[in-house]
Amino acid sequence: MIRLGKTLAILKNHKSFPAKRKVSMYIKEEIRDALKQKKAVVALESTIITHGMPFPENVNCALQVEQIVRQQGAVPATIAIVKGRIKIGLSPEEIVTLGDTKSSDPVKISRRDLSYAISNKRNGGTTVSATIIAATKAGIPIFATGGIGGVHRGAESTFDISADLIELGRSKIAVISSGVKSILDISKTLEYLETQGVFVATFGKTNDFPAFYSTKSGFNVPYCIQRAEEAAAVIKCHNELDLQSGMLFAVPIPEEYAFDPEIIEGFIEKALKEANCDDVRGKNITPYLLSQIAKLTGGKSLESNVALIKNNARVAADIAVALVALEDGAQTGNDASQFNLEGRPFVIGGSNLDCSATLDTSEIKLDGRILNANFTYTAGGVGRNICESLCKLGFPPNFLSVVGADERGKMIMSVIPPQSRHFVRVDDSCNTAECIVVFDDRGSCRLLMGDMKIHNKITPEVILENESIIKTAPLIILDSNLSEEAIEECLKLAVKHNIPVLFEPTDVEPSTKPFKTPHWKAIKFITPNLSELEHIARFFDFVPQKSSSDIAKAEELSRKLLSHGIDNIIVTLGSKGVLVARKGLATEKFFTNNYEEHVRFYPTEAINSLVNVSGAGDCFASGFIAALISNMPEEVCVSVGFAAAKLALKCQAAVPMEIFDRSHRSWERSASYQNIL
């Protein structure tokens, strides 16, 4: 009798029986180390580079998306096929090479195309399905993309259904996207996802499933999740149950980039007709339609596409960081093990929920009647704004603040970048700080109300508890939301450890708080507006003369404060610009031994289409700080500050969704100025 098991063993070991060889998959060392150390990693697809956008927009977008993932505390893993090799993580040079499609000649790669592209040593951009396969093999649990594929319109006759849906149904991965591309049949796509057992939730305020270019599709899904921590908890449970199916978190496109559903639908219908006339089918249909829609919208759809991809990457990174913290058994957002906390700037200040009420009238009568208004809620607080801005500039600070154990506190925590959340405390004895600003129909601020009691929870004792980290900071940034006692403790530590302090006055009345302490000369920088500057000057008994202009008044008062011992005075003058008074030239770095006093005025460029001015000053301060701690000269510090403020003026939120990194031109140019003699 022939023993089959032994026979197969003999055959397998025989030289003429070839051993099964695995296809080569290269994992970038940084990503391999991050996975080994259980750090947050986000997978990114590459068809946006090869088939989704024109060159060089595709390359710029891919590099910026990676930067956003890093800013949120995660490691980006862009996946592609390069010369027949699956690569988990691309170098910037590889992204540029792949993005120049005329020379790279890439294949659009789904599951069915992998073997062909690899065996023929081709370059290729991985679609959602192929990226899922590679990410799953590498052990990456979170994947960010623009929009997934789905059931195409007319699929009842063409049977055109994206492989993305099949892959989602059999791979244990969480995909973060802006729903499905609006060129698809969204209703049928959601039905198909349900059949495949895919968990679907919106990541936003409603259950209305987003439609790529639009925030809403009109189709509801079962679940709505609003915080990264909540999403991480669902993913963790899903993994523990070992459910061999994927998860889809649908993130609405940022409002400022969204299209009206009816308008974009008209463009889609026209593009579909053109595709039918040109007989475009199969895997070519999606890039064709996106290209046609870009033409029909005059390029605005491409701008929206870029914005939603970046936003999804940010959300995915936040979820990945929260998932790592949760799996480590740490309290989400307070796990310091994955971040190096030493040597960062240290921001100590307020975190608020800002409510803007814009009335439909300029006639305000406070007699008990209801005034019609449009309400907008955004995360605010000067300290928090500066913290978020610095993170988005690539300089994550440590941030000490307090929020309440309420829904407002949860909302604030969710938008504080994870890498800066370690020192933020949750206190259940107070409400989260809230500021209500009432504007009339002309945009003028008519009333301010605030509940700021919780800021007093930042006590001298709390500050001293963190001395071991504070003493490593290159700069301490304080806002005037702190009590005088807390400010004094901060200034004591600054003197003790020889750390310069930047003080942001926040408002007129509290602007003199630090100058009431005996250690106020630890303050090396102040960033007041003109009203705050005047209030500080009056505290020192400097009364301004009758000046012909705001610039002249700022110059007069700044010189007096400069001679009194405040080394660097940066006065924000709204739409006019910024005045800088210091001992040093514009071409010199700060902390030089130049004892000659100089005052310079930096005018701003005219900006059209202003959306919101509330965060411009904080973003300017953040850009200035980022360049300051990078040891740049004054004129570059102002240049970076202006560039950050300009973005804030065009955004509804106090801090823009994204800012820029060190590659931005503002780091290479000098802001123009006028010497004031």
Chain Cα centroid distance, residue 442: 31
Q: If you ran DSSP here, which 8-state letter would residue 18 be given?
A: P
pLDDT in tens, 371-421: 888 887 888 899 999 999 999 998 999 999 999 988 888 888 878 888 898
Backbone torsions φ then ψ of 565, nearest 5 degrees: 125, 5
Least trusted range by pLDDT, from 184-198, 503-517, 605-619: 605-619
Res 609: pLDDT? 66
Reported as type and span, the H/E element at residue 175 is strand 174-177
Rounded-to-integer distance, Cα 215 and Cα 237, Å: 28
pLDDT at position 652 is 72
What residues are labeled active site? Answer: 45, 181
Q: Which residues contact 626 (CB under 8 A, 6 or more apart)?
A: 390, 393, 394, 395, 640
Is the pLDDT at 36 greater than 70, yes or no? yes
Of 264, 174, 307, nearest to 228 by C-alpha is 174
Q: Flag whether the pTM goes above 0.75.
A: no
- Reply yes or no on whether the pLDDT at 273 is more than 90: no
Q: Which residue has the higher pLDDT, 443 or 153?
A: 153
pLDDT of residue 612: 67
Q: Are 494 and 371 in contact (CB under 8 A)?
A: no
What pLDDT is attached to residue 78? 97
Q: What sign for the dihedral angle of Cα 493, 495, 501, 504?
A: positive
Q: What is the pLDDT of residues 59-112, one digit of tens each?
A: 999 999 998 898 888 999 999 999 999 999 999 999 999 999 999 999 999 999
pLDDT at 330: 42
| Confidence grade of residue 286 (pLDDT, cut at 50, 70, 90) | low
Dihedral, CA of residue 475, residue 480, residue 484 and residue 487, to nearest 10: -10
pLDDT at 183 (0 to 100): 72
Of residues 9 and 443, more confidence is placed in 443
* Two structure tokens written together for 651: 């955004």
Give the start-to-end residue ranges of the domains of the chain. Answer: 25-327
Whether residue 514 is predicted with pLDDT greater than 90 in this model: the reply is yes
Sign of CA dihedral 365, 367, 373, 378: positive
Beta strands 142-144 and 41-44: pairing type?
Answer: parallel
Percent of the chain exceeding pLDDT 90 equals: 53
* pLDDT at residue 21, as a whole number: 52
3-state secondary structure of 673: coil
In a 13 Å sphere around the CA of 29, the CA atoms on its Cβ side amount to: 0
Which residue pairs from 193-196 have beta carbons closer than 8 angstroms and sit at least 24 positions apart in sequence? 193/165, 193/168, 193/169, 193/248, 195/169, 196/165, 196/166, 196/168, 196/169, 196/170, 196/245
Q: In whole angstroms, give the CA distance from residue 615 to residue 637.
A: 18
289-338 per-position pLDDT tens digit: 777 777 777 778 788 889 999 999 999 999 998 898 887 654 434 444 45
CA-CA distance, 567 to 591, in Å (whole number)?
A: 9
Tell me the pairing of strands 445-451 and 433-439. antiparallel
CATH number, domain 25-327: 3.40.1790.10
Tell me: pLDDT of 554 over 80: yes
pLDDT of residue 265: 76
Distance CA 657, CA 388 (A): 10
The helices-and-strands tally (H runs, E runs) of the chain is: 24, 25
